[in-house]
Structure 1
Amino acid sequence: MIKMLSGVWALLLGIVLIMLGNGMHFTLIGLRGGIEGYTSTELAVVTSGYFLGFLSGARGTPLMIQRVGHVRVFAALGSFMSAGLIALPLLTEPWAWTLLRVLVGFCMSGIYVAAESWLNAAATNDTRGKVLSAYMIAQTLGIIGAQGLLTLGDAGTSALFICASILVSVSFAPILLSATVVPAVEVARPMPLRALFKGSPLGTVGIFLLGSVYATQSGMGAVFGTKIGMSPSQIALFVAMLFAGALVLQYPIGWLSDRIDRRKLILGLAALGGAACVLGWLTGGALWLLMAAAFLAGGVTTPLYALFLAYTNDSLSASDMPAASGGLVFTFGLGAIVGPLVTGWAMQRLDPFAFWPVLGLTFAAIALYARYRMTQRSVTPVDATESYLNVLPTASPVAVEAAGDWAQEQAEAGREAEAT
């Protein structure tokens, strides 16, 4: 492990710093939006703007890299993102925030593509699984750590936004100074949604609904906290708990996924997420019950993403997997755009606690559709499935394809070992 980390530590350090800045700005949107008096619907539009930009960046960045070069694109996107973060407290209008969030989302997606390309090039077939796992842990720790930084300043001033911008700017130094090899970026053209649905209905529908869940949690969680009167430190802890659950539960769920019918696991996790949302709805604002609900609801979301990727790959041929990965990332992005809009509308028209029923109903839809699909297709034998893909919902198609290749190699190696 030490030898593996020695070759990629600078890249991982850069990722942690990026996630510190990006994680701060996500929660700051809810905090500052509450101070400015924005409605839940306005903040939902701002949140969806980020995911619209993120989806566009995932598709456009590889083309930009091919035209003007890897390093130039990476540096340009970093500069624009840093500028966008600084501009947020200067242009405190919902329409301006929406445009800036589209810009930040586009840049962040492109940064992921570039950084993950370098990370993938630095890994070997033997170390790729460990490198991807370390990368995902670095991302999650960065997001959680960002919430702690929010307690050091006042969201009503520009200081925390400037801090987020500085972290993003500084993060590029270790990455650019360590990444000496400029890798080629070739992302497969996403599979059309009709073909993707035909190959894996549960994977397609499930990951769309999960995109809605993830964007609502990460983008509207701070808005919910603001609207029910949480203090800034409580909001930061609430958002941190959404991601801490994923950090704790990812590996046990991954271990289970390679040993039982993945549809049953998807059904069980979605049911657990729905139950957590019921708990959050019934708490009446009790702080530690809200934290427990956030831990469980957030804790199943990231593993479900990896499960849907693995389950979809189980249903496809090896040649279709790269295109399917791109299609799933695109489908997830569509759900991420829609989810906050529905949640924001419900929170404004009904009550801020509508945050929980919307999430709960989405989890319930995933569980019910998984149960339905179990009656439509026979179970794939465990020894014929691909390995669990340890990737986060924020991963670009580069990391998803790399994880898919690694999972396929691991599964084939395991089957060969059993045959001998």
Structure 2
Amino acid sequence: MSEPAAQTRGVRIAALLPILLSAGILLAGNGVLLTLVAVRGRAEGFSDVQLGLIGAAYYVGTFAACLMTAKLIQRSGHIRIFAVMASVAAIAVLIMLLLIDPWVWVAARALMGMAFAGIATVIESWLNDLADRGNRGRILSIYRIVDLSAVTGAQFLMPAIGPGGFALFVVTAILYCTAMIPVAASRLQSPAPPERALLRPRAIWLLSPVACAGCITIGLTNGAFRTLGPVYAQGMGLDIDGIALFMSLGIAAGALFQFPLGWLSDRFERRTVLILSTAGAALASLLLSHAQGGAIFAGVFLFGGFAFPLYSLSVAHASDHARPGEYVELSLGLTFFFSLGATVGPFAASLVIDHFGPPAFFLYTSAMHGGFVAFVLYRMTRRPAVPRAARARFVALIRSSPLLLRLSRGRAEDAGAEPPVGKAPE
């Protein structure tokens, strides 16, 4: 390797450190807060329906940020917008502590969803700028490891500190503020602003109805699990340590199952693997709807293992039908369909819990997964499989901003410019 190339590579690796450190701190705070909101809300007397609305509000904010963050970055730059969004998240946490009211929490969680989707766009556009063909896979893998480690480990802050009082809210706000330091104090230069992508849901649906329906299903189920999973666990008699373990097992299993399921989907009909994974999530849900004691932990491990990879599998299936230049628009469209499901899912699941009790939560997720299996089976009769040689490579994704799909698939300029979704090449 030439000396200039080695220096360039060293600069890229050094630039990753403050970005990933800031990302890890933020993800840790967000991970523990998702669980804290459900547990503390119940302790404050919030109804299950109100907790569902609080969860849905987060995803409304997420979708809003996907539409406006690129413009904000173009106007103010990455570092300023990163600081703004982290500050908004910290302010929202402190508002939740200052005013313990379900409707205030709805507004605060919407702000937090907007902040974290904006932060994801900033971080991932930086990673996209630093990545090249030689290190793109490694950068994405490191980012996934940071995400998994931070979210899983942070679950145990709740039993260590306790959900009562003000301490854990303050610790979370401190984490959000601390996350600004590595990026703000570094010598990082802001990359080029993210490209604009059109939101055209109809075009994305026509491109891949299975992927769109999959993202809706994932929003209805996984979005509800992240919001109301602690409510189920608490209703089944688990203490704070048990709730933290319950949530951690589901998240960790999702990461463990990503790669074997992805390997299978690269070698067999992608929709067949989608059916198998979705059916596994449905069966695990049925187990959880009747589980007691240790079976609850076995059930959530299987549920997380089969349910969480569905996003990556759906994206991979859609990518099989897309050109390289279409990936950002494709991911924005899939984010739209996920947001539709995630906005409805927590509220719908909360109504189920409110009327039928905590075990019915997983009857709800089983029904949603079962419906998706039926839809995929129908679509297999309407469209032939993509030949293996023409498939995009599976990449295990964190469901965050549209830019992560571009990072995983490679920059458009690596493969040459391509026409937008729905247009034929000239």
Of 24, 40, 49 in structure 1, the residue corresponding to residue 32 of structure 2 is: 24
Asked whether the 8 Å contact 1:4–1:127 carries over to 2, the reply is no
- The offset of 1:224, in angstroms, is 1.6
- The offset of 1:409, in angstroms, is 6.8
User: How do residues 3-402 of structure 1 correspond to structure 2 at under 5 angstroms?
Assistant: 6-178=14-186, 180-283=188-291, 286-393=292-399, 395-402=400-407
TM-score normalised over the length of structure 2: 0.91
- Alpha-carbon distance change, 400 to 159 in structure 1, aligned in 2, over 3 angstroms: same
The SS at the match of 1:181 is: coil
- The offset of 1:26, in angstroms, is 0.4
- The offset of 1:4, in angstroms, is 7.5
The SS at the match of 2:162 is: coil
Question: How far does the alpha carbon of each residue in 1:155-214 deviate from its partner, in whole angstroms, 9 at most, with x for none?
Answer: 111101111111121122123333612012224424422211111111111111111111
In structure 2, stretches of 5+ residues that fail to align are: 1-8, 416-426
Alignment partners' CA distance in 2, 1:377 and 1:85: 47
Asked whether the 8 Å contact 1:386–1:407 carries over to 2, the reply is no
The SS at the match of 1:113 is: helix
Alignment partners' CA distance in 2, 1:281 and 1:187: 45
Alignment partners' CA distance in 2, 1:383 and 1:7: 36
Identical positions, percent: 30
Question: How far does the alpha carbon of each residue in 1:9-46 deviate from its partner, in whole angstroms, 9 at most, with x for none?
Answer: 33222211111100111000011011111111000000
Alignment partners' CA distance in 1, 2:56 and 2:258: 26
Aligned to 1:415: none
1:62 maps to amino acid: A
Asked whether the 8 Å contact 2:12–2:130 carries over to 1, the reply is no
- The offset of 1:70, in angstroms, is 2.0
Question: How far does the alpha carbon of each residue in 1:328-349 deviate from its partner, in whole angstroms, 9 at most, with x for none?
Answer: 1111111111110110011001
- The offset of 1:154, in angstroms, is 2.1
- The offset of 1:407, in angstroms, is 11
Asked whether the 8 Å contact 1:322–1:404 carries over to 2, the reply is no
Asked whether the 8 Å contact 2:136–2:410 carries over to 1, the reply is no
Instruction: Tell me which moved more, 97-106 or 202-211.
Output: 202-211
In structure 1, stretches of 5+ residues that fail to align are: 411-420
The SS at the match of 2:176 is: helix
- The offset of 1:404, in angstroms, is 2.9
Alignment partners' CA distance in 1, 2:187 and 2:131: 12
2:311 maps to amino acid: Y
Alignment partners' CA distance in 2, 1:353 and 1:409: 49
- The offset of 1:249, in angstroms, is 1.1
Alignment partners' CA distance in 2, 1:177 and 1:121: 19
Aligned to 2:408: 403
Equivalent residue pairs, number: 407
The SS at the match of 1:88 is: helix
- Alpha-carbon distance change, 371 to 296 in structure 1, aligned in 2, over 3 angstroms: same
Asked whether the 8 Å contact 2:48–2:354 carries over to 1, the reply is yes
Aligned to 1:418: none
Alignment partners' CA distance in 1, 2:327 and 2:72: 24
1:404 maps to amino acid: R
Alignment partners' CA distance in 1, 2:72 and 2:337: 22
Asked whether the 8 Å contact 2:286–2:362 carries over to 1, the reply is yes
Instruction: Tell me which moved more, 258-267 or 77-86.
Output: 77-86
